[in-house]
Structure 1
Amino acid sequence: MIRNIVIAVLLIGLVGTAYWAYQDHQEKIAIMNQTENNYQRAFNDLNYQIDVLNDKIGTTLAMNTKDSLSPALAEVWRLTSEAHNNVGHLPLTLMPFHETEKFLTNIGDFAYKTSVRDLDKSPLSDEEYNTLKALYSDATEIRDELRSVQRKISDNDLRWMDVETALADTKGDSQRDNQVIDGLKTIDKNVKSIGQKSEYGPTFTSVEEKNIDYKNLSGKEITRKEAIELAKKYTGVSNAKTVSVTANKDGSKYEFYHVNLKSASTGNMIGIDLTKKGGHPIYIINDRQVSDAKIGLNDGYKKARQYLNNMGYQNMELFESTQYNNVGVYTFVTVKDQVRIYPEAIRIKVALDNGDIIGLGADDYLQNHDKERKINKPAITEKEAEKQISGKVMIMEKRLAVITNNLYEDVLCYEFMGTVGDDTYRIFINAENGHEEKVEIMHEARKVYDDVS
């Protein structure tokens, strides 16, 4: 009798274990499929954008008037920005792809600087025209090589998840056998030689990508063990069932640890990137399902604010808050001498079903935060800046703010928030020379909630 009961209990346990393993396996497959789809979409979009970019550069060679040339070059600049974005969504963190990114940056900067000047007074020089011809040839070469990689992926049924696995392989054996990696390395190698041959003209100054070396980080370098403890602290997962730690490989633009934690109580997987120096969190991602909202956006703000305080960030205020899919997203920026420093931004995601912190993005803050930042006195007055704004705009708020312009330069501006009809705008006027730096339309869902500040 007892023997039968023991056998029955063991069978039930075995069935339960098998079912749990099956469910866990199915969840992993679903996550892998979703990730693979995202990678494929980013690569296909990148191919499309390089295709269009190549055509657009080609059309500029036949243009001769400001009315057609300026918009075309502005479109080239926009396409390079989108291509940059899609490169960032590919699993290339562990593989140098810097030359391709730098090439896109240089094309975008050349196109932007040329498009914003008065081409009637200062038309394209022969040297700049030759630069466009060279860029067209270079973009054609990159387009063809990307198409080749795309064909290999399609013909051989290759997966981007295998690329990620190969890049993470510490021995490097699988990297040598991966056709996608070989193809991308070839592209980056060829782009390097292209960049060395291309001349952008005497007036062109290359503006590299935003500085992501986190040169102003405080603290000592942390160990893997310390990274795990900090990961548990920042994610709130003290009872992790499984933990894995990966350090960055050679070629990464900054040193970091990536820690994955699986909560023993909820089963949720949470990922966090931490800088090696100081152990500062860069990103936190918890993709758990969020149920119906039980707290409001204002309560979510209080959770985000408390979390920010607990992390030790000071002199920050809420800039904007958004709600989507029962999640509140809150963007905080540094305030110094009553001036908002928009480049120093931190974004926090709060689940509005229970107030959990499920996401953080401190990348911008870590790149741009500088305790020694000096804010110069404006060269023009607020009234002089306001004269640069259309009389149709009803101004509601004004303040001083530091923004990053399209050339990745931090500039002090007068920020005006106003309305035209039912639309709300933010307008930034350079406090040094009175030039209009940026105009943004504020959609209803993005407006700052005054009652939480």
Structure 2
Amino acid sequence: MPGWIRWIIYIVLLIGLVGAIIWGYQEQQEKNAILIKAENNYQRAFHDLTYRMDELDEKISTVLAMNAPSNISPQMANIWKITSEAKADVSQLPLSLLPFNQTQQLLNQIGDFAYDVSIRDLNDQPLNDQELQALSELKDQSNQMKSDLRQVQDQVLTDGVRWMDIEVSVATNDQRDDEVLNGLQVVEEDAGQFDGLSQLNDSANNENSIELTGESYNQSDIEQVVKDYFELNEQTELTITENGEGSEVPIYNVSFNTDSFHGYAEVTKQGGNVLSYLLNRDVGESTKSLHDGRLVAETLLEDLDYNQVEMVESKQYEKTGVYKFVHVHDDTYYYPDEIQVKVALDDGQVTGLTARDFILNENKREEREFEPTLSEEEAIDYIHEQIDVQTTRLAVIETEENGEVLAYEVLGTIDGTTYRVYINANDGFEERVERLTQSEEVY
């Protein structure tokens, strides 16, 4: 081989090697940038949550010192706002480390209670002794949770803890004794200890008790249900806890780890129904379309015998498709009876299901009686005149003030922006207006 050809080959190989190095470096830089962004989001969410628990403790203490209804109402509205923000913070934490179920449930209870108090006439219905006692206990509880979070925060800041490192250690089943994880576990256990607000609703829960069919399951039964449902190895260890007394429906919280994912599920004590589950794992590059994921979700619901449901919305979050289905009867869409399915678009695996509302509302369906007073044409007259109406259908939605109401669901546009408007089918009241973004609506 002539020397000049060898030189050309060497030069080509050298250029290829340099190109590969540059490409690898750029790939590594992009990966590092994504990891840094994720870490920053985790850090921000945790520190924001700690700050909001401080705020919550302060606001609750302030309410206990108030006497004038005109002061209490806005303060309770602030508490509701803080709990909403705190719930958003919790949802952005790496929950594969520790599902904050008890904490989220407590924040939900506080938010619902604060909202109900903030909108009622406290001159006619002042806080009663039981509510004041619950607030006093909640103050002690929030103070303890605040202290626990502060200790975890101090550990994070002192040791320069990276949430990504902890998440990797958990994902690889590294059973090291981690003080941050232990601290978060204490916060979660503290949240589960408080049932003062649940007790306020005991009588309401008894009046609206949810009756589920089937036999009563103990923890051993539930363990087998979960292993069969997820086709787990018999040697897989499950952590099972039961929710507290006075809950709307008795359920078991189940968590487990496999080589592929960390799993969490809610299963009813009566009947052994899987209300929801989540499989946390790394999702690879997408090979499936949003439509492919929809077909997977529909097949799952058919296999689970969820009949008379239709998809009303689909959204893609990075490499995952999320699909919302609702119960449909006599061409009326019942939004309170909702099912959500989460599908990984790398291989089409279902990684999440939330069927709680659909299952718990099953007995309610036979009792519902809705009949529109207004015609479709009359309802459209209540729509803003600038909206170009595209489609209309009947739907049942849930409102804060009146519970479930029948409405005309109207889809229309203004200057290329799509809106969904709900007009009460009996009096024409505009119940709700939603701006739709990045979603596929199915009509």
- TM-score tier, shorter chain, comes to 0.5 to 0.7
Distance 2:244 2:75 in 1: 38
Provide closer, same or farther for how the CA distance between residues 97 and 399 of structure 1 changes in structure 2, counting only shifts above 3 A. Answer: closer
Asked whether the 8 Å contact 2:373–2:427 carries over to 1, the reply is: yes
Aligned pair in 2 of structure 1 residues 367, 301: CA closer, same or farther (>3 Å)? same
Give CA deviations for 1:118-144 in whole Å, capped at 9, x if unaligned: xxxxxx96x57x76xxx9999899668
Residues 207 and 407 in structure 1, CA contact (< 8 A), matched pair in contact too: no
1:150 aligns with 2:146: yes
Shift of 1:221: 2.0
Say if 1:337 and 1:160 are closer, same or farther in 2 by CA, change over 3 A.
Answer: farther
**CA deviation vs aligned residue, 1:141-187 (integer Å, no higher than 9, x gap):** 9668745652464358586743675699xxxxxxxxxxx83x996x8
How far 1:245 moved relative to its partner? 4.3
Secondary structure of the structure 1 residue equivalent to 2:316:
strand
Which consecutive unaligned segments of at least 5 residues does structure 2 have?
1-40, 156-178
Instruction: State the partner residue of 2:281.
Output: 288
Residue number in structure 1 paired with 2:250: 255
> Match of 1:346, SS?
strand
Residue pair 2:277, 2:353 contacting (<8 A) in 1 also: yes
Letter paired with 1:331: K
Aligned match for 2:225, one of 208, 227, 230: 230
Partner of 1:319: 312
Q: Indicate whether 1:384 and 2:378 are aligned.
A: yes
Q: Which runs of 5+ in 1 are unaligned?
A: 1-33, 115-123, 169-179, 196-205
* Alpha-carbon distance in structure 2 between the residues aligned to 1:57 and 1:224: 40
CA distance in 1, matches of 2:400, 2:334: 16
Tell me: CA distance 1:428–1:309, structure 2 relative to 1, closer, same or farther (3 Å).
same
CA RMSD of aligned residues (A): 4.8
Are the aligned partners of 1:96 and 1:252 in contact in 2 as well (CA < 8 Å)?
A: no
TM-score of the superposition, structure 2-length normalised? Answer: 0.66
**Is the alpha carbon distance of 1:46 and 1:300 closer, same or farther for their aligned partners in structure 2, counting shifts above 3 Å?**
same
Larger mean CA deviation between 401-410 and 135-144 belongs to 135-144
Helix, strand or coil at the partner of 2:237? strand
Instruction: Please state how far the C-alpha of 1:409 moved relative to its aligned partner.
Output: 0.6
Cα 1:42–1:375 shift into 2, 3 Å: farther
Flag the 1:278–1:184 CA change in 2: closer, same or farther, 3 A: closer
Query: How many residues align structurally?
Result: 371
| One-letter amino acid of the structure 2 residue matched with residue 314 of structure 1 | N
Match of 2:55 in 1: 48
Q: 2:19: which partner in 1?
A: none
Greater RCO between the two (CA within 8 Å, min separation 6)? 1
Structure 1 pair 342–109 and aligned structure 2 pair: CA distance change class (3 A): same
1:433 corresponds to: 427
Q: 2 CA distance for matches of 1:334 and 1:281?
A: 18
Change (3 A) 1:312 1:389: same
Matches of 1:207 and 1:259, distance apart in 2: 25
Distance in 2 (CA, whole Å) between partners of 1:43 and 1:410 is 36
CA distance in 2, matches of 1:87, 1:209: 28
Query: Is 2:360 the counterpart of 1:367?
Result: yes
Q: Which residue of 1 aligns with 2:117?
A: 110
The 5-angstrom pairing of residues 28-427 of structure 1 reads: 42-48=49-55, 51=58, 78-79=81-82, 81-82=84-85, 104-113=111-120, 146-147=142-143, 149-151=145-147, 153-154=149-150, 161-162=181-182, 181=190, 215-235=210-230, 237-239=231-233, 242-251=236-245, 253=247, 254-263=249-258, 266-370=259-363, 371-407=365-401, 409-427=403-421
Question: What SS does structure 2 have at the residue aligned with 1:47?
Answer: helix
> Partner of 1:17 in structure 2?
none
